[in-house]
Structures are given as C-alpha cells and as structure tokens.
A and B are shown apart, each in its own frame.
Chain A
Amino acid sequence: MIDRLRGFWVRLRRMFFRRESDGGLAAEMQSHLEQETARRIATGEHPATARRRAAAEFGSVDARTEEVRDARMGAWFDDLRIDLRYALRGLRKSPTFSVVTVLILTLGIGSAATIFSIVNEVLWRDLPFADSDRVVRVAATRKEDGHSANQTTSGPLIHAWRERTSSFEYFAIFSQRTTVFNHNNRSPRQARALVASPSLYDIVGLPMQLGRRLTAEDASPGAEAVAVLSHETWVTDFNRDPSVLDRHITLDAQSHRVIGVLSPEAFLTILPRPENTDFLLPFLEPIERLNRGEWYYNVVAKLKPGVTVDSAHAEMLAVAERIQTERPELSEESLTRVVSLQEDRNRLVRPALWATVTLVALLLISTVVNGVKLTLVRTISREGEFSVRSALGASRGRLTRQLLAETGLLAVLGSIGGVLLASWGVNLLARVGPPALTAIARFGFDRDAILFALVVCALTTFAITAASLCRVRSADQAIDTANRSTTAGQNQNRLLNGLMTAQFAIATAVLVAAGLMLVSFVRLTSVDPGFQTEDRLSFRITLPDTDYTDHETRVQMFDRIRGQTAALPGVTAVTGSHAPPLSGHSEGWGWWFIDGRGEPEPKPVQARVVLDDYHATMGIDLIRGRFFDRRDHADASPVVIINERLAHNHFGEEDAIGRSIQFGWQEKPMEVIGIVHNVQHFSLRNEIKAMIYVPAGQLQTADVAVMSFVVRGTGSPTSLVSSISSIVAGIDPGLPLAEVALISDWVREAVALEHSILQLLLFFSGVTVLITAVGLYGVVSYLMRQRRRELGIRVAVGAQRGQIAALVYQQGARIVLAGIALGIFVAWSGTRIISNLLYDVDAFAPVVYLGAGVVLITAASIALGLPAWRATKINPTEALRSE
C-alpha cells in the first residue's frame, strides 16, 4: 500500500515538475557524455579523438533524452490508448446499453448543472461590487403592509436613522420613478428613472461607459439638474452617439444635462426590476423635508468594516425604539430590520430554489445509481470475459484500469452531453424564466458550472468503477468454481434489488413533490380573483407635474381620455384606478382609517382611487348598497365604497351602509354607500386586506397623477391599442401610453414564478421516472437472463405464456412496491422543504401520493413488458442447450 502511494506520489510530482525534470535529463545526458570523454582521455586517447568516439558511441543527447521521455510517458499513454480502444470496442458491442447510459447521464448531469448555475449565481455568488458582504438593506415595514414585498420608508424617518446610527459607512436612499421622456421629434415615451443618493454609487460602484457618475454636489439643493443614461437608452434613443454628453434632455418637461452613460456591465442589483431603468437621477437633499406620510423610499447602506449585520440590526432596533418614543409620528407602527442585500435580493425565490435543488439532487443520485446498476449488470454478464483475462495473466490493476476507461468514457460522454444540455438550459431559463428570477441575476453558463460537471463526472466514474470492481474481485474466484450455471450470487442480486428499490423510492419522493406543486398550482390558478380578467385591456398614463399642476386639471384629463376611449367602436366600458389589482402597483395608498363610532382608534386600510364605473367594468360584485354614479360628483357629499373584509372586520354584524368613516387625507368624513366583494390585489394567494374605494373626483387633500385605465371590449381588445394611442396623442401629444397589457396577462404574471418552478419540477420528475423505468428494464432483463434455464424448463413442462409473464412481473413487483413504500415515507418526512411553496394543499394530500404510486406502477409495467414478452418467447431446447 505504502509502495503504491509512494509510486503515485513520485508520478504526480513528475507530472507537475516535468519541465524541471526534462532540463535535468538533458544535463544528465550531457554529463554522461563528458565523463565518458574524460575516461577516454584518462586512458590516453587524444582529447579530440576521445570526444569524437564518445559522441559516436553515445549518439545524440537529444535522441537519448527523447528515449527516456518516451519511456516515461509512452508506457502510460500506450496503456491509456489501448484501454480506450478496448473501452470503445466494448461499448460498441452493446450499443443500446451505451447510448442509454450516456443519455441518462446527459439528462441527469445537464439538469443538475443547469440548476447549479442558477443557484450559484443567485444564492452563492457575491454581488458584483467590492465588499458586497457589507452591503445591507435597511427597512421599516409598516404593520399594515405586512409581509408584502413593500420595504419602503419615509424620508424624515430615514433622516432620523442617518443621524442616530453609527454602524454604517454609507447610507443611500433611492426610489424608482416613472417619468415622461421627450426626445427630439419622436413621440414621448414613459421612462423609468432611478432616483438615488450619489452615495449609492460609492456602495455598488457602477462602471461607466462615458462621462462621470453622480456626485454629492449633484444632489445638493439648487444644483443643476443632471442625468446619467443607462447603456440601453444610449443605444436605442441616442444611437451610441458619444457627443451625448452635456446635451440636454427633457424628463417630465424639465431639462436635464447628460453627464454620463452607464457601461453595459452595470447591473443595478439593488432594484427589483433593474432591466427597466432608463435614467439615473440624483436624490435631492434635504430628505428630511419630504412628506412623512410618503413611505416611498428604499435604503441601501454599507456597514463600517468589522460591523456585522446582526450588530447593525441590534443598533437599528434600539434607534427605532428611541424614535418611537421621541417622535412617534415618524415611525408610525413599523418593524425595523437590517438584512444583507444578497439575502434581501433573493428572498422571494429562495424557497423555490431550495426545493428545486433538492429535487435535482435526488435526480442526480438516481442517475448515478442507475449508472452503477446498469454497469454492474453488464460487468456480471461479462464475468466470463474477466475470469478468462484474469487467468491469462491480466493483473487486477490492469482490469481496474480497463473498467475505469470504460466507465470513464461513459461518464465523460455523459458529462459532455450534460454540459451542452446545461448551457442550453441556462440560456433558456435566462430568456423565458420567471421575472422574479431573471431580474435579480444575470445567468450564464460559466466555469463554475463546467467545474461542477467535472466533479460530478469524476464521482460518477468512481462510484460506477467501485461497484464494478467489487464484481471483478469475486470473478477472481469465479474461475475456480467455474460453475456459472448455478443461480448466480444471491449477494449481487440483493445489491441490485437494493439499488433498484432506492431508485423507486427517489422517484416516488420526486413525483410527490412535483404532484404537490401541480395541485397547488391548479388551486392557485383557480382562485377567484374577485374581478373579471377576460376581454379587458389596460394602459397607464402619467401626467407630468409641470403641465398638470392641480388636481382638477388632472381629473378632467383622465375623464377626457376615458370618455373618448369609451366612444370607440368595440368598447363597452372604460374605467381606471391608480393601482388596479394584480397590476403590480400597490403604491402606498394605505392610510389610517378612523372608525366613525367615536373612539379615534386608527386602523390600517388600503385605499384605491377610482374613476367612474370602476366596479361594474372590473366585474367586482356588489354585496349591498350601490356603486358610484353621477350623484357622486366633486361637489356632492363625500362617499366611499368598502370591501367585504373591512365591513366584516370593523362593523361586524352591524350594517356599514350609511355609516361614515374618516381618513387621514380626507378632511370631511365619507359616507359608506356600498360593500363589494374582496379582490385578490397583491397576489392570488388570498392576501386580502381591508380596502376602500374613493372616487377620483372627490379627493380632498391628496391627489393622483397616474392612472391605469381598464378598457372592456368586445372581441380582441388588443386591436384597440392604436386607436387609443391616437386618442391620447390627440388630447396631449406629450403623453406616452405605457404598460399596455391584457388583464389576463397580469394574472399570468402573478403566478409566473410558481409556473416556472412547476415546469422544472415536472420535467425533473419526468426524467426521474424515465431513468427509473429504464433501470428496472435493465435489471429485470438481466435477472431473467439468469433464470433462462429455469424458464426453459418451465416452458418444457408446460407452463403457459401467462404464467411465464407473471413470473417476470413478480420479479419486478416486489422491487417496485418496496421502493414506492419507502419513497412515500421519505416524501412524507421531507415535505417540509416545499410546504411553504404550496398554496391550499395539505403536504400529506393522499391524492398526490396515490397519483405518484399510479404513475410509477404504470411506468414499471411498461418497463417490464419487454422482458416479459421476451421470456414468453423462450425456446426451451435453445435455453437448455445454451448453458
């Protein structure tokens, strides 16, 4: 053993220090030649003659060096070449085995490498800037916003934090804004701007293509208005014109000087939807002057060196508590937290990714088990060959090497296939993956993924070879007993059965997980959103503050657009809201709600500003009372419609109709005139919140400059888009039409992540079942070959075809049933991993477990069909003679 290790070490050292060793070799040859010459001179030869003769005898130094080198490497390469040739010949002899094994490895390794690439990028890789582990999100979530994605905070509260904390080196505030971009004579378009403190760029360090980045001076009060272009805007709107610097562009009717262009590598990892950013603008100080009711702003901060996320979190909690007592009006009732940016960024997709990783790991294990099993079966069938070789003098080492070459070849081919599959898979996911995933990272198939495939390849080769070697060891003895017709080794059959059972167990667990996701998805998509989604088109209008200064002109504008659109042929109704359900807008219109009953206890509520006919057009059903109508004009007494949840929570058994309620931003109390059904506003997962609807015309102190119109049409509403855009252009050519979408698309997007995960899981479970079935086929075919003689005798003494087939099925049934039973147990104890992804499905739903069983039994029956059919075709005379 020690000798072997030593030899291995020497060879390894040579492999790495070959260069040195080669130089040494030439020097050694030279030295030999010189000594020979010296010897000849010492015996009295003339130096010149001595040199000539020595050289003649020795030959060329180069040639000698070459010879030694050949001896060193040559033997190794020769053996390898021979091994590979044998391996190829062996694999060609059983093409089905080879192709199937390689294909299965391709599927397994490809799936695993794809998921690895994504998980590596999203969960493990550092964000692309310096000290990314010190960058955190700081957020105060108002209790009313609950656990929703909203993590925005108010300007004055952020200012209070900034003043009272010492954990942070940089404290950057940012928000995303919709602006109207007017460029030359082109029609205006809606653009997204990232408005951020310049210190943000000290944290995330965005690379620039041209010009300079934003600095603190740009954000100081009274500074010249400047903007940085995203690379894409520079390409699409400015045709890569380098002279764009110092030019003025118009955003929201205000002139901004262009000071820089982002490099294409710049990736705004801090944003939920970074790809949509067109401009970077400075966040103007002082932020403490901002309205304390506007919880619109995000905070990214960088910890001082040595400060941990936990200690920063602790400090923030203490500070939040102080602010709560000193200035309660600032913090309202909020929960403050500090989380690493990385964690914050992937929080939505993390559970889904872990579930996927678990499943793909199971798939990979099943792939390897399958490779081991099939190779084992094949090695056993080749026992004779190995015994003979062994007897003829092939050493164990030689046989090992040959097996290694064969399995290695299979594994390498499978890995190459897997790498190709994965590079395709990763690109596919990057293109069509769910926005929740593609927005937070740029995927690509990279070195890490290839490394991963290599490691898997090595492990697979190792596992398969180890299993085969166990067989060869016994084959040494096989030649002694030389009695192959006895029922071959019970042990090996037990190992095969064990591996097969494990594979069925894995397949069951994977199928159960996919099944649970499937049922969950079906439930989720059949949730009643509470409004109609078909035949409805939406578009969004943003009115710039500069042209539409007061609320009246804005509401008039919205009414004009609504009226003219409604007059289009094919349009049956038009309405609008600043944030329709599932549109992705849920801007902080949640305000305090004061029950009109006297005790002024504020309660959280979501408010939606709506245009006329909102509920009827959206298809939101009325429970009691009436909808808004012509009576509810600006000068009439204020009215409000509430949802069922609010009515139930705050009025209980009492009738809410006719009661009056008071809001923070409405001076006069409003009378409840109707109660409507709840709608799924934030997602389809039943996150129902108390909600009020206020007619846009009756807004008192607040106002609204954005409106998502909803057009109900007959036939295909998309055909209306061009007429609608000419109407809007006719009213104000400076207004862009944005976010044109079918409402049914909103619903689809609301479940996009779940849909993608489901597709992945279904694909993986399909592959797992396929692999398992192929494995079962291979093993049972082998076992039946072993029993050929027995079957022959049975046929000879009159067994019917049915009876023979039943034997085959019997052989398989035990494995399959044991595997499924084990798998159900495994799945049962492992459902925790996906339980928080599930909607409205019990993780122990019997129907899912039953379904998994049925799928596997069906697959097994198909896999057993061929060996069974073959068994019934056995010709007894041939079977008996062949042994």
Chain B
Amino acid sequence: MAKDKTDLLQGTLDMLILKALQLQPMHGFGISVRIRQISEDVLRVEQGSLYPALYRLEEQGWITSDWGISENNRKAKFYEITKLGRKQLANETANWERLSLAVNQVLGAKLKDLG
C-alpha cells in the first residue's frame, strides 16, 4: 500500500532510473547521462537526488549493485534491475499512463469547457 502511494516526484525519478536500467546494467554517472539523452536534455538529474534514489531502489529490492570497471577503465559501481524491479517498472508505467491520461482528459475537458 505504501509503495503505491509514493509521491509523484519521487516516484517519477524512480521510474526514470528503472527505465534507464531496463536495457543493461549501468553506473550512476551512466544513468544520469542516459536520462538526459532519452529526454533530449529536458530532464536533468541532480546528483544530490540520484544517489539517494539509487539507495532507495536497492533497499526496495528493485535493483542490485556490484563493483565493476567502467568503459574508460575506472572502478565504478554498476546497478542492475531485478525481476522485481521490472515488475515495478511495468506497474509504474501503467500507473503513469493512467494518471497522465486522466490529467490530459481533465485538462482537455477544461479546455473544451472554456472553449
């Protein structure tokens, strides 16, 4: 119950991180770059919220982490999405779609009424 009711902003970041990890394991820096790339520079993730979020996700059991070597030969911590995380991502995506649809409808309706 508690997990379903996480507040919007926090939930959104979590969703974005899970989405970024969907294809392959990545380190923190990679994740921030990836999110920026996918959103075409619209969404920027502050480091101050990225790492606490990673910790939170790991604690929920949605991602796991392990030390590895980055593409430029540096020691880095890689995060990998778990089965549970994929399920959560699917849930959240569905929720998000429902929510955004609803919001769009409301906004659309309002516009229509006004119009």
Contact = CB atoms under 8 A, between A and B. Distances in A.
Contact of A64 (B47, B59, B84): B47
B98 interface: no
A212 B48 CA distance: 69
Given A7-B59, A32-B28, A36-B29, A396 B47 contact: no
B58 interface: yes
B56 A71 contact: yes
B51 A29 contact: yes
A34 B77 contact: no
A634 B2 CA distance: 102
Contacts of A6: 61, 84
Nearest to A74: B52
Contact of A68 (B1, B33, B52): B52
Interface string B57-101: 011110000010010101111000000100000000000000000
Given A31-B27, A59-B47, A72-B59, 9 more contacts: A7-B60, A7-B61, A10-B58, A14-B59, A32-B29, A35-B76, A38-B72, A71-B52, A397-B2
Given A68-B52, A395-B2, A31 B75 contact: yes
Contacts of B61: 3, 6-7, 10
Contacts, number: 76
17 contacts: A6-B61, A27-B77, A28-B27, A28-B76, A31-B75, A31-B77, A35-B30, A36-B29, A59-B48, A68-B52, A70-B52, A71-B56, A72-B52, A72-B55, A395-B1, A395-B2, A397-B2
B58 A71 contact: no
A67 interface: yes
Nearest to B64: A10
Given A10-B59, A31-B77, A39 B33 contact: yes
B8 to A, nearest CB: 15
A851 interface: no
A710 B24 CA distance: 99
Contacts of A39: 33
Nearest to A70: B52
Contacts of A36: 29
A38 B73 CA distance: 11
Closest 6 CB pairs of A and B: A71-B52, A35-B29, A6-B61, A68-B51, A395-B2, A32-B29
Interface of B: 1-2, 5, 27-30, 33, 47-48, 51-52, 55-56, 58-61, 67, 70, 72, 74-77, 84
Nearest to A42: B72
B33 A64 contact: no
Given A7-B59, A396-B1, A31 B51 contact: no
Contacts of A24: 67, 77
A32 B74 contact: no
Contacts of B59: 7, 10-11, 14, 72
A66 to B, nearest CB: 10
A14 B84 CA distance: 20
A31 B76 contact: yes
B47 A28 contact: no
A31 B52 contact: no
Contacts of A68: 51-52, 55
B47 A71 contact: no
A129 interface: no
Contacts of A398: 2
A393 interface: yes
A77 interface: no
B81 to A, nearest CB: 15
Contacts of B55: 68, 71-72
A14 B60 CA distance: 13
Contact of B48 (A38, A64, A396): A64
Contact of A31 (B2, B5, B29): B29
Interface centre among B28, B61, B75 (most CB of A within 10 A): B61
A58 interface: yes
A837 B47 CA distance: 74
B77 A35 contact: no
A34 B28 contact: no
Contact of A35 (B1, B2, B70): B70
A722 B74 CA distance: 93
Nearest to A11: B59
Interface in A399-449: none
Report the contact-size class of chain A (Cβ under 8 Å from the partner): 20 to 34
Contacts of A3: 60-61, 84
Interface in A601-616: none
B58 to A, nearest CB: 7
B78 to A, nearest CB: 10
B74 A31 contact: yes
Interface in A795-849: none
Contacts of B47: 29, 32, 58-59, 64
Interface string A643-673: 0000000000000000000000000000000
Interface in A228-250: none
A646 to B, nearest CB: 85
Contacts of A395: 1-2, 5
Nearest to A75: B56
A396 B29 CA distance: 37
A31 B77 CA distance: 8
B27 to A, nearest CB: 7
Nearest to B60: A7
B77 A28 contact: yes
A10 B61 CA distance: 8
A68 B51 CA distance: 6
Contacts of A7: 59-61
Contacts of B72: 35, 38
Contacts of B56: 71
B102 to A, nearest CB: 20
A9 to B, nearest CB: 9
Contacts of B2: 395, 397-398
Q: Most A CB atoms within 10 A — which of B2, B28, B52, B72?
A: B52
Nearest to A57: B47
A14 B55 CA distance: 11
Contacts of A34: 74
Contacts of A27: 75, 77
B26 to A, nearest CB: 11
Contacts of B84: 3, 6
Residue from A27, A39, A58, A71 with most neighbouring chain B CB atoms (10 Å): A71
A729 B22 CA distance: 102
Contacts of B77: 24, 27-28, 31
Nearest to B84: A3
Nearest to B58: A10
Determine which residue in A32, A39, A72 has the highest number of CB atoms from chain B within 10 A of its CB, and name it.
Answer: A32
Nearest to A39: B33
A6 B58 CA distance: 10
A67 B60 contact: no
A7 B77 CA distance: 20
Contacts of A29: 47, 51
Nearest to A397: B2
Contacts of A28: 27-28, 51, 76-77
A189 B12 CA distance: 90
A71 B58 CA distance: 13
A31 B33 contact: no
B87 to A, nearest CB: 10
A762 B4 CA distance: 57
A332 B60 CA distance: 79
Contacts of A11: 59
Interface string A361-400: 0000000000000000000000000000000010111100
A400 to B, nearest CB: 12
A583 B51 CA distance: 80
A551 B76 CA distance: 98
Contacts of A25: 51
A82 to B, nearest CB: 15
Given A31-B74, A58-B47, A393-B5, A67 B52 contact: yes
Interface in A1-16: 3, 6-7, 10-11, 14
